[in-house]
Chain A
């Protein structure tokens, strides 16, 4: 015979809960009394910290909104799966203890360079003739070769910046039909413009110049994505002007 035993909780009787209720009332009442007395005593002394700060109570000298010596900045390693649970146990092992000096000008560049990445881009071999021809085809077809540069956010950020800097005040009124310009440029790791030139002219000096200026004015570009291991990015950037006539 297979006998199982398990504990059964005692049922609460109504008398129990009434007893608990009365106890709770007494505790609550005594607690309130204590708090009220405490507040009365506190208000008699009027300590400075209870006083509500008013605009007039500022010190004459600058209350520094942030001494930087008290704020430090450290890089954190990649964590692809965000922890969405609240009150998650601290994952101390994931946080490097090393801290970099809070030198502001260096913070951002160091971050960009130093964040560790798990997925390392495959080494890109030198393009052979066939690949080059393929790229050329894509250029005229207007598609984007994102296999070697799979960072859509970067391209959007770059485009937004260039188009935002494109001064179309002059060109839109002058052009008579759809005109294209292709600008070639290179961006280095830190977002610096390394080389820039008109690759395919619109045969309109003003328009070529405006497109060239848009690219130049957009420097600095965002630093190249940390996961991108090459030194530079080559961009063939097309501008189009369609006449309103």
Chain B
């Protein structure tokens, strides 16, 4: 025997994964329409929710990047029709379709006018249920319940927390003003957060996702405020005359780093979350802005035009050891450090348009994610570090898009009459 198990585990199975084995695809899943189990307790439009649930799960799982979704709806329908006739599950048909797993749900309204969703995941090979969860909630959280089911499927197949329940904050134009808004990660459930009748910019979530920092011209000066989302309270962090803008939280939530101007020149400063203990991080004659922390909190990437053009630099969190990070192109801005720590996303000008890039922090790899699709800027990472949200003008107005960190699956998620731009992805699901 080649191996003695470490640590004296008595029971285990061994698998040998051959090098030639790789199938070249992720787990293939078939997602079925959710079935309304009964109509005893009527809720308006309950019949339509099955299709909506199927769409939500399909969007979530497809976007997660962990799966290959079987999108042959006709074949799926044919199998289901046959199953209805015969009254039993045709496992062989699902296997022939190429499915490794089936996602299926039933739902109904209970006596409290709540919706109950029972989601199940089946192993086609073994003809058995892998997981099953029942979700109960009021109709207004129906989408959230289904998103949670999606995240559980993601966890089941990847061991990682999904992002389907996360939120995005961004600026949107309402009645000619720019206000702060929040939505689900898929662009649904948009809600307005400020009513300043002014210009509100640069949202940044606290690590707990309970507060959002933003800059507002409410009092005719770009001041830095913090919004307590639960209470709806807006607190001043910095309102020095001049600019107080583009703030970011340290990953431990203790510090806020932002751009402030002194004698007309912008530099980076840090304060605690009460706006006290101001300390200066940069002191140059050039402009320093757009700070973003590394997930370990030890470094900050930011933009400086000290070289003559805006470029991205990295320094220690205390302001020491400044090093230039970008060299290609003469305008690189909007850095966003991946929660995994290995990448920085940013936007750079090419042919008069901004385009998204990701670059490894060690510089070994860089990729341009967008090209010839309008202007693409303000990247922000999903908490799992697998996705990026950004602003794009490719369809006319500024709207929010999301994509994988490799640039695939670029999907428009906001379709607002006013524009939507400058997204900030919440670092975790709000509890």
Residues of A near any B CB (own CB < 8 A): 55-56, 58-63, 65-68, 70-90, 95, 99, 104, 107-108, 111-112, 115, 117-119, 123-124, 126-127, 129, 132-133, 135-136, 138-139, 142-146, 148-153, 155-161, 163, 169, 180, 184, 186, 190-191, 194-195, 199, 219-223, 225-240
Q: Which residues of B contact A163 (CB under 8 A)?
A: 22
Residue among A124, A153, A169, A236 with the most chain B CB within 10 A?
A: A153
Distance, CA A225 to CA B108, complexed state (A): 29
Residues of B within 8 A of A95 (CB): 118, 134
A80 contacts B155, C-beta separation under 8 Å: no
Q: Is B17 an interface residue (CB 8 A)?
A: yes
B120-171 residues with Cβ-Cβ distance < 8 A to A are: 120, 122-123, 125-138, 140-141, 143-145, 148, 151-152, 155-161, 165, 167
Q: Does B351 contact A (CB under 8 A)?
A: no
A60-B192 in contact (CB<8A): yes
Known: A111-B133, A127-B1, A226-B130. A56 touches B175 (CB 8 A): yes
Give the number of residues in B that approach A within 8 Å (Cβ atoms): 102
Additional pairs, 6, CB under 8 Å, beyond known A82-B120, A234-B3: A58-B192, A70-B137, A78-B128, A90-B108, A115-B132, A169-B364
Stretch at the interface among B80-88, B287-295, B374-382: B80-88
Nearest-neighbour CB distance to chain A for B227, whole angstroms, equals 8
B368 within 8 A of A: no
Q: Does the CB pair A159–B144 fall under 8 Å?
A: no
CB within 8 Å: A-B pair count = 300
Q: Are A124 and B13 in touch, CB under 8 angstroms?
A: yes
A111 touches B131 (CB 8 A): yes
Are A66 and B141 neighbours in the complex by a CB distance under 8 Å? Answer: yes
Closest Cβ–Cβ distance, residue A128 to chain B (whole Å): 10
Binding site for A on B (CB under 8 A): 1-3, 5-7, 9-23, 25-27, 32, 35-40, 66, 80, 83-84, 87-89, 100-102, 104, 106, 108, 114, 118, 120, 122-123, 125-138, 140-141, 143-145, 148, 151-152, 155-161, 165, 167, 172, 174-175, 181-182, 184, 189-195, 229, 232, 364-365, 416-418, 429, 431
- Shortest CB distance B430–A (Å): 8
| Complex contacts, A148 vs chain B, CB 8 Å | 13-14
A206 to B215, CA, bound (A): 47
Which residue of A is nearest B38, CB measured? A90
- Smallest CB-CB A-B distances: 4 pairs: A71-B137, A142-B18, A61-B232, A148-B13
Main secondary structure of the interface of A (DSSP, over half): loop
Q: What's the least CB distance linking A215 to chain B, in Å? A: 11
CB atoms of A107 and B138 under 8 A apart: no
Select one of B36, B88, B144, B417 contacting A71, CB under 8 A: B144
Answer whether A82 and B89 are a contact pair too, CB < 8 Å, given A62-B191, A115-B132.
yes
Q: Are B6 and A194 in contact (CB under 8 A)?
A: yes
Which chain B residues border A115 with CB–CB below 8 Å? 129-132
Given A60-B194, A108-B152, A159-B22, residue A234 in contact with residue B12 (CB < 8 A): yes
Query: CA of A160 to CA of B229 in the docked complex: distance in angstroms?
Result: 38
A87 to B46, CA, bound (A): 12
- Chain A residues with CB under 8 Å of B364's CB are 169
A107 and B84 in contact, given A78-B129, A84-B35, A115-B131 (Cβ under 8 angstroms): no
Assembly CA distance A95 to B133 (angstroms): 10
